[in-house]
Chain A
Amino acid sequence: MAYSEKLIEHYENPRNVGTLDKNDDDVGTGLVGAPACGDVMRLQIKVSDEGVIEDAKFKTFGCGSAIASSSLATEWLKGKTIDQADTIKNSMIAEELNLPPVKIHCSVLAEDAIKSAIADYRAKQAAKRAMK
């Protein structure tokens, strides 16, 4: 199976590996997994007061395609508004990395991680507003 250069590049030099403070109100954390293969992926976003994603980090324990998918996702997330980020689809990730069909589920995992990080951030903001 031939993997694309871009995929290999992200796998060998993953961007934005790391952790943000999950207790920070401005940080949304998504933790997702694929029980069919034992992968686990954490993706975090830090959102400015203007609603722009100023930082994104990930940590993935899984195959090369899962690592590359989440690495690319964090690269795309930075600088986007929350609403723009919400429009990222797994098919866009799969296309950009030219994922083989058996690895499409890795891009689905990355989209799930983005959605779940956004949902976590929105829930925190809603809770904060409710407190006021």
Chain B
Amino acid sequence: MDPFATLGVEPRFDLDPAELERRHRELSRALHPDRHAAEPPAQRRLALSRAIEVNEAYRMLKDPIRRAERVLEARGVPIGEGKEPPASGALLMEMMESRETLADAVRAKDAATVARLGDEMRDRERGLLTKLAAALATVSPETSQQAMVLLGELRYTRRFLDEVSAFEEVLAG
């Protein structure tokens, strides 16, 4: 599935979130089962499967990491296991250390430290996303490569922040 085509938007990273949401709303409304209730079953099924596709495309493009992956794919850059540049040793060391620090704070149920570590990582993620947007603003092998490296780092920050959210959810009960 090409999520850009599904939602009828351009395959670019800096999509306007409001426009994306508007397209999703319009298409969902048009494909709503109530609007197709009078149609033959085959048509109803088609509308339903398209509605599911529209939802999936929307979820995909709303997430900056997955949107960037689809943008690169649309440019013919292979994405996935074994096709990505290896993470630098310095990044791995840093991520191992920060994950251990986070794990210690989670184990100790130290909510203040977890919150602080989460804030720091969110700041970092914001910075990386800004750089990613800049890299994807131009189409060239160099900028695609830069974007891949940034994406690699973003997946580490994402994993970290997933842990933070999981802890906060448990805490919130």
Contacts and interface: CB of A to CB of B under 8 A. Distances in A.
Interface of A: 31-40, 42, 59, 61, 105
B81 A33 contact: no
A31 B96 contact: yes
Contacts of A42: 96
Interface of B: 79-87, 89, 91-93, 95-96, 99-100, 103, 151-153, 155-156, 158-159
A67 to B, nearest CB: 13
B155 A61 contact: no
A64 to B, nearest CB: 14
A36 to B, nearest CB: 5
Nearest to B148: A35
Given A31-B89, A33-B92, A35-B85, 14 more contacts: A34-B81, A34-B87, A35-B87, A35-B152, A35-B153, A35-B155, A36-B81, A36-B82, A38-B156, A38-B159, A40-B95, A40-B96, A61-B95, A61-B159
A72 B157 CA distance: 27
Contact of B86 (A35, A38, A61): A35
Contacts of B85: 35
Contacts of B87: 33-35
Contacts of A35: 84-87, 151-153, 155-156
Contacts of B152: 35-36
A35 B155 CA distance: 7
B100 A59 contact: yes
B82 A31 contact: no
27 contacts: A31-B89, A31-B92, A31-B96, A32-B92, A33-B86, A33-B95, A34-B81, A34-B87, A35-B85, A35-B86, A35-B151, A35-B152, A35-B153, A35-B156, A36-B79, A36-B80, A36-B152, A37-B155, A38-B159, A39-B159, A40-B92, A40-B95, A42-B96, A59-B96, A61-B99, A61-B103, A61-B159
